[in-house]
Amino acid sequence: MTEVLDFKPAVTQAQDVLTIRDLKAYYVNDMFGVRREVRAVDGISLTVRRNEVYGIAGESSSGKTSLIKTLAGAIRPPMRVVDGSVNFSFGDTHIDVYAEPEKMKAARWQNLSYIMQGSMSVLNPVRRIKHAFNDFAFRHMGLDRRAFRQRVESHLQKLGLDPNVLEAFPHQLSGGMRQRVTIALATVCEPEFIIADEPTTALDVLVQQDVLGLLKEVQARLGSSVVFVTHDMSVHAAITDRLAIMYAGRLAEEGPTQAMFDNPQHPYTAHLIASLPRIGDVSTRKSLAGKPPSLANPPSGCRFHPRCPIAIDRCSKEVPEMLPSAIGGRVACFRAGEVAVK
């Protein structure tokens, strides 16, 4: 089986690993004859390149988790993919997630792994850590028991964990160690694509930094792509190469993280960034009035217009398209670049 493991092509050029085209995934509820659609993912197109950390930011209920569940092919009713496609290309294997579910199943863990939200509870509380590795990763590695164990132990050591944690129960580990174990679990098969759904939420800032460093290091060593989801803009600033801002199920802006922080094009991005505290700045942070719209009944036109300080008439009538922005990304705003948050 080693040939299969060695088969992964070397990281060379920035090719696209993930391509999403006009993806629409709705929670469809048919209750008492009333059909209700919650448009959690509503027409999103994006690409993730090899060897990059791609951030997805947005408020709670902006559809971040729905988006990544959809792209991992891990959706369950009542959620449904209504339109669009998700394509992965791992080396020579190309997978259309919703057309070839069997191929996708084989790729999971081997090529694509998932660090789930609330990953503190990813480990079964009544089973030892080694069983988690056996259950989740063993069959994807194609090794015999002993080689697998050695592989897991050396992998844990690389991540700064004592191999003895394999014999421990989850409650015997600290929060940071558990998080490390979860990351080890997700990366032990050396996947090309890692989805991380808020892996640092509920950790204190020191452990958070530690975990981010670890994730970055693993990513650099494996040369894999990471989709990193969190609402915490400071985490995005620290770890991501490119950043996408989601608002009410749609992308508002996408671009290189640094350029976006320096020069946000979308008014919503500008507000998210302005809400970050900076050392030395003692002025009160302004919050954006209002709350995210209901995805069952979103506002017309640009979904941000009811809260947008610089909205014009056109914003409530037409839906802005994602167009190339001045900083080398894309933005969906009729007044892109005219941002004034001071």
Residues at the interface with another protein (CB under 8 A): 72, 74, 105, 108-109, 114, 116-119, 121-127, 131-132, 135-137, 139-140
Of the pair 69, 335, the CB lying nearest another protein is at 69
Question: Residue 30 carries which side chain, given as an amino acid letter?
Answer: D
Distances (CA, A) of 48 to 56, 101, 127, 308: 11, 20, 36, 29
| SS3 call for 13 | coil
> What pairs with residue 28 in β-bridges?
37
Q: How far is the CB of 37 from another protein (least distance, A)?
A: 20
| Residue whose C-alpha is closest to residue 72's, from 111, 45, 15 | 111
The burial of 113, by beta-carbon neighbours within 10 Å (0-12 exposed, 13-18 middle, 19 or more buried), is given as: buried
Of the pair 117, 224, the CB lying nearest another protein is at 117
Of the pair 4, 220, the CB lying nearest another protein is at 4
- DSSP letter string, 59-123: -TTSSHHHHHHHHTT---TTEEEEEEEEEEEETTEEEETTT-HHHHHHHBTTTEEEE-TTGGGSS
Q: Find the radius of gyration of the CA atoms of the chain.
A: 21
Of the pair 42, 197, the CB lying nearest another protein is at 197
26, 231, 47, 83: CA torsion to nearest 10: 0
Q: How far is the CB of 109 from another protein (least distance, A)?
A: 5
Of the pair 175, 213, the CB lying nearest another protein is at 175
Q: How far apart are CA 140 and CA 7, in angstroms?
A: 15
Of the pair 8, 131, the CB lying nearest another protein is at 131
Q: How far is the CB of 260 from another protein (least distance, A)?
A: 31
Q: How far is the CB of 252 from another protein (least distance, A)?
A: 28
> What pairs with residue 44 in β-bridges?
23
Q: How far is the CB of 161 from another protein (least distance, A)?
A: 19
Of the pair 137, 252, the CB lying nearest another protein is at 137
Q: How far is the CB of 132 from another protein (least distance, A)?
A: 8
Q: Which tokens in the block code for residue 285?
A: 């942070």
Q: How far is the CB of 195 from another protein (least distance, A)?
A: 10
Question: Residue 81 carries which side chain, given as an amino acid letter?
Answer: V
